[in-house]
Chains A and B, each alone.
Chain A
Amino acid sequence: MKIIVCVKQVPDSAAAMSVEDGKISWGDAPLVINPWDEYAVEAALRLTEAQGGDVIALSLGDENAKEAIKHALAMGCSEAILVNDPAMAGADTQAVARVLAAAIQKIGGADIVVFGKQAIDSDVGATPSMVARLLGWPAVTLVSEIVECTQSEIKASRAMEEGRQQVAAELPVVLSIVKDYGEPRYPSFMGIRKAARASVPEWTVADTGIDLPSAVVTWPNVMAPPEREVTNEIIEGSNPEEIAAKLADKIMEEKVL
């Protein structure tokens, strides 16, 4: 079974974001593999452990994306490819999806392409569906469990607010994975050594065989949420009942309930 897992480099989840002149800044936060993508790598590895086969990590990004790729390799992916093209700076989700889909085809396709649920920096979460659309494959998103997978078909549980949904699809398929899937493994020490030594081939967009896609969505402005004004008020009373009654009135008055 051949699986491609797409990984992205993002600022550490503990990083503080600020907005300066309509541009997002993460300060000098360390860059890490998108935490959701770790679940995707885990799912891909478990699938090949059960079915046999290889996992290829694919990333679109600059030099920094190598950290994410190396993390995926250290977890156990056998190969990696970086699409690194300065012309992609400022790309939107649609442009990214076009390049990823082209790269997947250039790799020679796959049985399964796995994504994390979304990237924690831009939080769009549409890349998996867009890539599936471009490849003409079924998209099974928000997967919390892979119930069964054969060489030709996959049955998976999707985590939805209302409950779980079981879906079946024929391969090849695009999946996106949620946290409920299960804790991603740590990189192994042997994997770390292999990853540190691995040379990662770099492609430009032209190498993937398509013309440079242009963005259809731009971010003319980004605003930080207005600062919330918080005031504290301590509600006093001679007994808990009285305090609770006052609190309930207050909550109604403020239209919280």
Chain B
Amino acid sequence: MTVATRLRFALLVSLLVQAAAGVPGAAAAAPAYEVDRAQSSLTFVGDQQGEKFIGTIRSFRAAIRYSPSDLATSLLDVSMDLKSIDTKNSERDAALATAVWFDYAHTPVATFRSVGPLRATKDGAVADADLVIKGKSKRITFPFRWTPAAGGAALDAKVSLDRLDFGLGAGEWADDSIIGHRVDVIVHLALKPAAPSP
């Protein structure tokens, strides 16, 4: 065996070992997806005087990397433009802008970032994630379902939040019977493989 052949052989063995052990290499990172805006929705369900209302966050950006076989490099990273919230009630939308609620003047953006590796579940995975709303960060558990589809996949999730954790509607507005504390966030992302970055 020549030196060159031996080197090539060693490289091959090391690549095989890496692949078998699932050690992440730059080339093996979970594939990136981009959001199909028209087919995706980011909504929340609030409760006002015992009546449910739906808020739609119309404008958001998401960087998603996911592979069930590479959970360590999978990640979810979403930024939401809160000014784009529409609750189908102009008075309520105007109220959400004020300092008592989202305070658009100071904190118009909310972010969501997974931390550390994801954990596999029966039909998808669970991420630990930092959700930052109104400058307040909270570590949440975010289980989601992953459904491969023709030319991409769908990510579906529902998490329940307590609005007071983020200082939304504190003081006199904390009254649970007027505006419920619990808010369910419903995520439906239609994803297609991202165009490879140059």
Q: Do A and B bind each other?
A: no
